Amino acid sequence: MSTNDHQRSAIVVTGLMKQYGATRAVDGLSFEVAHGEVFGLLGPNGAGKTTTVEILEGYRQADAGEVRVLGLDPFVDGTALRSRVGVMLQEGGLYPGLRTREVIRLFAAYHGVGHASADQLLDDVGLTTDRDRMVRRLSGGQRQRLSLACALVGTPEMLVLDEPTAGMDPQARATTWELVRSVVARGTTVVLTTHLLDEAERLCDRVAIVAAGRLAALGSPHELTSGERREVRFTTAVTLDPAKLAHALDLALDAVVADPAGQYRIQAAGTPSLIADLATFLRDHDIAINSLEAGRQSLEDVFMQLVTEEGNG
């Protein structure tokens, strides 16, 4: 790997392999993350995301392949790297017997940051009124916000966020998204893992979808949801037979998918002819339509399709 690669990219992963017994958790994974990019690492449980992130953080050693984070080997150069990378801690690392302000000031002391800057971080994540509350008495969403504040101490060059808005209410999620955007605006690289596909679609410049330890797709949310992946979505209060509707529209029997809450997806481009045939079918069966949308698939739709294909492969 050349020096130019290190300078161009905050993260370079090439042919990454990690195996636990007979299970290959990561199977030849390769990707790069540019400086100042928000990069999403997406996949179902057991896909290898956590193992990959732990290798990036230097907590696990790869069996094969090469990994560079900010130009360093995270396992060999972990001590030098940790002062430059902020990691969002999980609940177990937040000292439940301390008060919120005590935790953030403790992390600030590790980084040589003053109390004023630490207290400002509590304000940034919306915990000022909870600064004297014991960590064990914080809600799940509040603990997530405190974890994020701790990760931001020391103004890291790179930030690793693992499910950053899990347990948060919609307002707290929006506040966290804005904070992440402000961090990125000053040049910080962000690696994000999340099960919330709308979050990835809103925040990430690019995403890697990982399934069974392998790279299933890589690109911007717009790139992954454009092109051939088109569909028509509509909702109705009446229960429809997807196969019967597909037959009426002259499509494959599995082209119509019934989702919860009366939503149906037709996996085909919303041409004028298809929309007219759908309207005719609904009229002939006296079915009122509540909503109709045609266009590109959501990132969640693409994710589910790729993961399903990988599972059947």
Domains located in the chain, CATH noted: 230-296 (3.30.70)
pLDDT score at 91: 58
Distance between CA atoms of 217 and 302, rounded to whole angstroms?
Answer: 10
For residues 212 and 47, the answer to whether their CB atoms sit within 8 Å is yes
For residues 208 and 215, the answer to whether their CB atoms sit within 8 Å is yes
Report which DSSP code applies to 232: E
State the amino acid at position 311 in one-letter form. G
Distance between CA atoms of 88 and 183, rounded to whole angstroms?
Answer: 14
State the amino acid at position 299 in one-letter form. L
> How would you list the strands of the sheet with 85-87, edge to edge?
85-87, 158-162, 189-193, 38-42, 206-211, 214-219
CA 305 to chain CA centroid, Å, is: 17
pLDDT score at 313: 54
Tens place of pLDDT per residue across the chain (313 aa): 444 544 579 999 999 999 999 999 999 999 999 999 999 999 998 899 999 999 999 999 999 999 999 999 999 999 999 889 999 866 557 888 999 999 999 999 988 888 898 899 999 999 999 999 999 999 988 998 999 999 999 899 999 998 889 888 888 899 899 999 999 999 999 999 998 999 999 999 999 999 999 999 999 998 888 766 678 999 999 999 999 999 999 999 889 999 877 899 898 888 899 999 999 999 999 999 999 988 777 788 788 878 877 665 5
CA distances from 206 to 34, 41, 202, 234, 289 (A): 10, 9, 11, 29, 35
- Select from 270, 257, 198, 258 the least CA-distant residue to 230: 270
Find the helix packing angle between 140-152 and 100-111, rounded to 10°: 20
pLDDT score at 3: 46
pLDDT score at 23: 92
Distance between CA atoms of 152 and 36, rounded to whole angstroms?
Answer: 15
Distance between CA atoms of 79 and 77, rounded to whole angstroms?
Answer: 6
